[in-house]
Amino acid sequence: MMVFDAYARYYDLLYRDKDYRAESEYVASHIRQYAPQAKRILELGCGTGAHAEQLARMGYLVHGVDLSPQMLAGAEARRKGLPAEVASRLSLGHGDARTARTGESHDVVVSLFHVMSYQTTDAGLRGMFETAFAHLRHGGLFIFDFWYGPAVLTQRPEVRVKRLEDETIEVTRIAEPVIRVNENIVDVNYSVFIEEKATGKVERVRESHHMRYLFLPELERYREGSFEERASHEWMTSKPMSEQSWAGFQVLARV
């Protein structure tokens, strides 16, 4: 089973407290600063479409791609529930962030919620940069966030438990991370218990998400000759990255 397939069932519930509107506005503020005429956005790893929805509400034409059919089904359900004018600005397609080719050019490529850090191999990282490059016009922006290595190594991942519910289910998620320091990877092992309120039936889902923490010199190496840096700082604060900055953020321009 593909990572995120079972996850998609309760994904939006798990992250209902995530401020997608504020995050999308943060991304849009950088688009306005570095590419004020931009209209067309490609999102790599769009998930259930929460960021894509917000960007479409701002007036951008957004095409989202994701590897998980279940995630895309959630995104399509979201799109169908939007006002017609907003929905007309949002399209979706199945694709791998490392290899997708839409045959169209865009002003901006975005990849959010650590999709970059899901690329645990050098080939995967190169593939994402190549995908972004292939879809951008000269001067177009590649915007992404990622796990920042110095913070991961300083703070160290820890066991976390998250509980939440809606009108039909109760979810308990236990995250047990294992760090592989010689590979720059954290294996986040999830045990998820989903209880149906009506029947008391409990389903257990186990998944492992493999996350690569990244360092600025290696990101510079991957973009060399293809992109120039426009911004590089802490996600959502614009402070310089430090040992406290678990999430980094970069804005690159295609050369």
Give dist(CA 78, CA 92) in Å, integer: 11
pLDDT at residue 1, as a whole number: 41
Question: pLDDT, tens digit, for every residue of 1-42?
Answer: 444 555 666 777 888 889 999 999 999 999 999 999 999 999
Same fold, 7-148+213-254 and 151-211: no
Strands 169-180 vs 160-165: parallel, antiparallel or unpaired? antiparallel
User: Mind listing the pLDDT tens digit for each residue in 147-156?
Assistant: 999 999 999 9
- The pTM for the full model equals 0.93
Burial class (CB in 10 A: 0-12, 13-18, 19+), 205: middle
Angle value at C-alpha 133, between 78 and 98, nearest 5 degrees: 60
Domain ranges of the chain: 7-148+213-254, 151-211
pLDDT digits (tens, 9 = 90+) for 182-224: 999 999 999 999 898 999 999 888 889 999 999 999 999 999 9
CA–CA gap between residue 88 and residue 80 (Å, rounded)? 10
CATH tag for 151-211 (out of 2.30.110.10, 2.20.130.10, 3.30.70.600, 2.60.40.420): 2.20.130.10
CATH code for the structural domain at 7-148+213-254: 3.40.50.150
